[in-house]
Amino acid sequence: MVFRARVVFFSLLMVVTTAFGQEGYILKENIPYYPETVRSQDQYLKERCKLDVYYPKDSISAPVVVWFHGGGLENGEKNIPEGLEEKGIIVVAVNYRMHPKVKHPVYIEDAAAAVAWVFKNISEYNGSSDKIFVSGHSAGGYLASMVGLDKSYLEKHGVDANKIAGLAPLSGHTITHMTIRKEMGIEGTQPIVDKYAPLFHVRKDAPPMLLVTGNRELELLGRYEEVAYFYRMMKVLGHPNVQLMELDGYGHIMVYPALPLIVNFVKEITE
């Protein structure tokens, strides 16, 4: 389903049923997601590869959103998006190593290690490993797509990517990320689809997907169009649950209005 959300209508999507939200949350910060044997070998990994878990203290088997921050794989910091707070959802905010201190595919490997940690540990925080959603904005959306579509990254941790309940990349590259292209000596205006592109890994059996971008005229270079092509190819393959939403009135910075869409997506899949 392609949906073009105009600003005058979007306020309706901001309404989330009170039954899905509840009071009483705990925030655990700076939890390492690599084992000590790995952390001891790399100081930058030890400093950077941590996550925060924000969870409702009285819930049982709550749904989970793993959130990757944006910043072009070059900057940014983990955060709990305000629009996901107090919605009955566990939010896991992840830091990962960044360019230029590391190069591809380290970013994706870190993202996969964090998601694998969630699968193996989220029950300790009242979460369900059957209700894990992976999301993020921009570079974070790209990482969410790569971890969910290229099964090889999670397989290294003994996790089947198809166990992810849903993927919700916000304005993420579906071609090879611009920073990875830069590392290859390729200009940002030259699109590439290789094994580091979500488009390379389109498949019918992928988890349900919610694709959200800003308005095509306000977005970053071709971002709506590449996401729309990804959507079309998933439909051609016969993927049963992929949605594309374009937010009129918003450019690339469209996290705040998109968060209620993620909450509704989680509800649709889990309730």
Tens-digit pLDDT profile for residues 13-26 = 333 333 344 469 99
**pLDDT above 70 as % of the chain:** 92
Name the residue range of residue 236's domain. Answer: 2-270
pLDDT at residue 202, rounded to an integer: 98
Please state the φ and ψ torsions of residue 264, each to the nearest 5 degrees. -65, -40
Q: Order of strands across the sheet with 209-214?
A: 2-5, 242-247, 209-214, 166-170, 127-137, 62-68, 90-94, 50-56, 25-32
Q: Which residues contact 165 (CB under 8 A, 6 or more apart)?
A: 63, 130, 131, 132, 133, 207, 208, 266, 269, 270
| Domain count within the chain | 1
At 113 the three-state DSSP class reads: helix
The continuous run of DSSP H or E covering 131 comes out as strand 127-137
Q: Which of 118, 146, 153, 150 is nearest to 133 (CA)?
A: 118
Stated as kind and residue range, the H or E segment containing 262 is: helix 255-270
101-157 pLDDT, tens digit per residue, is 999 999 999 999 999 999 999 999 999 999 999 999 999 999 999 999 999 999 999
pTM here is 0.93
Q: What is the CATH number of the domain that holds 86?
A: 3.40.50.1820
Establish whether the linkage from the previous residue to 35 is cis, with ω within 30° of 0: no
Q: Which two tokens stand for residue 7?
A: 């600003």
Alpha carbon separation from 112 to 64, 81, 106, 153, 226 (Å, rounded): 15, 20, 10, 6, 23
At a CB cut-off of 8 Å and minimum separation 6, what does 111 contact?
68, 94, 96, 143, 144, 146, 147, 153
